[in-house]
């Protein structure tokens, strides 16, 4: 069977698959070609900030680094999770006043701007980011949401470019958060073979589907690499949180409803209040091995 599949693939005899794109029913973008690009590839790079705007945010990033003195910073870290509340507040203010106002250049009135963080990629080998998918905060059976990654310096091979796995937003792992064990963690090394690097200019935006598998290799320069990540969802999509802990039954993911206030202040590791619980879901997405990864990658290539 394996050889029949292999020969079919080699000669391109695979029957075309009908992809269900129904969750992309809401266009969040001023330029609708971005939605087409996002649907097919899972990500899209667009121009976003002017050089003076990049400079102002870069100055804030340097201030955040100063504020983090004394904190452990050899691993990749994000300002939104810093134990230093002053630092968190400074970062939030900066994004509210210097970043959020520019988002309507890209997004239309159907989009809700949820919040973001500065990302600090230190010049250490611990600063790498293994392949992962970001948290799902909408019901991805019905809707999609995006993260907006904006580097504040030009990106090249030495400072940790973002690698995106084309088509991986269609693989079907829908229940994700920092506390739900990641379904593809057994194939981290294999996933590294499927990424495409995005060599971006400072201030460009990589808009990616929350379900996209992505990673960044270590920053081998002498300086921390600054970037911002910002979460945007359709206004019409309820805000959700997927959760597991010791109390969660085996094979289940718990779904909770979140308010915007909860999203802004929650520590993301504690069990949310019972009153917010929606339902238990069987975590049925396909786990992948080397062979099934090769197949699923091929199945969702449209370039
Ligand atoms: O900035 C980076 O190196 C990676 C960021 C990332 O993967 C994320 O925010 O999900």
The radius of gyration computed from the CA coordinates of the chain, to the nearest angstrom, equals: 19
Give the dihedral of Cα atoms 60, 66, 72, 78; nearest 10 deg.
-10
Q: How far is the CA of 293 from the centre of ligand 1 (A)?
A: 22
Q: Which of 130, 145, 162 to mutate to test the pocket of ligand 1 (most atoms within 8 A of CB)?
A: 162
CB neighbour burial string for 206-240, b if at least 16 within 10 angstroms, e if fewer: bbbbbbbbbbbbbbeeeebbbbbbbbbbbeebebb
Ligand 1 centroid from CA 127, angstroms: 10
Q: Is 107 helix (H, G, I), strand (E, B) or coil?
A: strand
Ligand 1 centroid to Cα of residue 59, in Å, is: 20
**Phi, psi for 241 (deg, rounded to 5):** -145, 130
Model confidence pLDDT, tens digit, residues 62-88: 999 999 988 877 899 999 888 899 999
Which residue has the CA at smallest separation from atom 4 of ligand 1? 216
Q: Which residues line ligand 1 (CB under 6 A)?
A: 119, 121, 129, 134, 160, 214, 216, 227, 229
Q: Is residue 57 part of a domain?
A: yes
Interval between CA 214 and ligand 1 midpoint (Å): 8
Average pLDDT value for residue range 130-143: 96
Assigned domain for 13 exists: no
Rounded distance between C-alpha atoms, residue 264 and residue 260, angstroms: 6
Domain assignment present for 274: yes
CA of 42 to the centre of ligand 1 (A): 15
Q: Is residue 113 part of a domain?
A: yes
pLDDT band per the 50, 70, 90 thresholds, residue 5:
low
How many domains, in total, are found in the chain? 1
Is residue 227 within 8 A of residue 60, CB to CB? The reply is no
Contact at 8 Å (CB) between 230 and 103?
yes
CATH code (residue 263): 2.60.120.620
Query: What is the rounded distance in angstroms from the CA atom of residue 189 to the CA atom of residue 211?
Result: 19
Diameter of the chain measured on Cα atoms: 60
Three-class DSSP category at 198 = strand
Cβ partners under 8 Å of residue 193, min gap 6: none
**What's the pTM?**
0.92
pLDDT the model gives residue 262: 82
Give residue 57's pLDDT.
98
Q: What count of other Cβ atoms lies within 10 Å of the Cβ of residue 37?
A: 17
Candidates 79, 124, 160, 227: which one to mutate for ligand 1, based on the most atoms within 8 Å of Cβ? 227
Q: Which atom of ligand 1 is nearest to the CA of 151?
A: 1
Over residues 28-48, mean pLDDT = 97
Q: What is the pLDDT of residue 3?
A: 56
Residue 264, pLDDT score: 81
Query: How close is the Cα of 6 to the center of ligand 1, in Å?
Result: 34
Helix, strand or coil, per DSSP, at residue 223: coil
User: Mean pLDDT across the stretch 14-33?
Assistant: 86
Q: Is the pLDDT of residue 1 over 80?
A: no
7 found inside a domain: no
Residue nearest to ligand 1 atom 9, measured at CA: 229
Query: Containing H/E element for 114?
Result: strand 111-121
Q: Whose CA is nearest to atom 2 of ligand 1?
A: 216
Q: How far apart are CA 262 and CA 272, in angstroms?
A: 9
Contact 204, 150 (CB under 8 A): yes
Put residue 235 in one of left, alpha, beta given phi > 0 → left and psi -120 to 50 → alpha.
alpha
Indicate the pLDDT class of residue 29, thresholds 50, 70 and 90. very high
242 in a structural domain:
yes
**SS3 (DSSP) at 236:** coil
Whether residue 3 is contained in a domain is answered as no
Question: Of all helices (H) and strands (E), which one includes residue 157?
Answer: none
pLDDT at 8: 56
18 within domain boundaries: no
Host domain of residue 211: 24-299
Render pLDDT for 203-241 as a digit per residue (tens, 0 to 9).
999 999 999 999 999 999 999 999 999 999 999 999 999
Closest residue by Cα to residue 184 from 121, 133, 142, 147: 133
Cβ neighbours of residue 178 under 8 Å, at least 6 residues apart? 135, 268, 269
Averaged pLDDT, 108-114: 97
pLDDT at 2: 47
Say how far apart CA 146 and CA 44 lie, in whole Å. 11
């Amino acid at each position: 069977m394996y050889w029949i599949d292999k020969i079919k693939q080699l000669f391109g005899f695979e029957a075309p698959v009908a992809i269900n794109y129904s969750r992309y029913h809401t266009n969040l973008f001023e330029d609708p070609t971005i939605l087409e690009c996002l649907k097919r590839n899972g990500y899209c790079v667009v121009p976003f900030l002017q050089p003076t705007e990049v400079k102002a945010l870069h100055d804030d990033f340097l201030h955040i680094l100063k504020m983090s003195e004394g904190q452990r910073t050899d691993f990749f870290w994000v300002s939104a999770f810093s134990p230093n509340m002053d630092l968190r507040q400074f970062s939030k203010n900066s994004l509210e006043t210097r970043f959020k106002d520019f988002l309507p250049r890209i997004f239309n009135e159907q989009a809700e701007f949820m919040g973001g963080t500065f990302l600090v990629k230190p010049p250490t080998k611990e600063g790498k980011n293994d392949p992962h998918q970001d948290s799902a905060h909408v019901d991805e059976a019905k809707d999609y949401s995006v993260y907006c990654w904006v580097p504040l310096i030009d990106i090249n091979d030495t400072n940790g470019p973002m690698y995106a796995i084309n088509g991986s937003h269609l693989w079907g792992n829908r229940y994700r958060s920092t506390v739900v064990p990641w379904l593809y963690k057994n194939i981290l090394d294999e996933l590294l073979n499927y990424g495409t690097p995005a060599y971006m200019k400072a201030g460009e935006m990589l808009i990616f589907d929350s379900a996209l598998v992505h990673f960044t290799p270590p920053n081998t320069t002498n300086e921390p690499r600054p970037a911002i990540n910002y979460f945007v969802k359709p206004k019409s999509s309820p805000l959700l949180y997927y959760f597991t802990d010791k109390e969660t039954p085996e094979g289940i993911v718990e779904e909770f409803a979140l308010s915007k206030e909860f999203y802004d202040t929650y520590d993301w590791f504690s069990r949310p209040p019972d009153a917010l619980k929606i339902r238990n879901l069987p975590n049925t997405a396909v786990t992948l091995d080397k062979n099934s990864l090769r197949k699923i990658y091929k199945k969702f290539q449209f370039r």
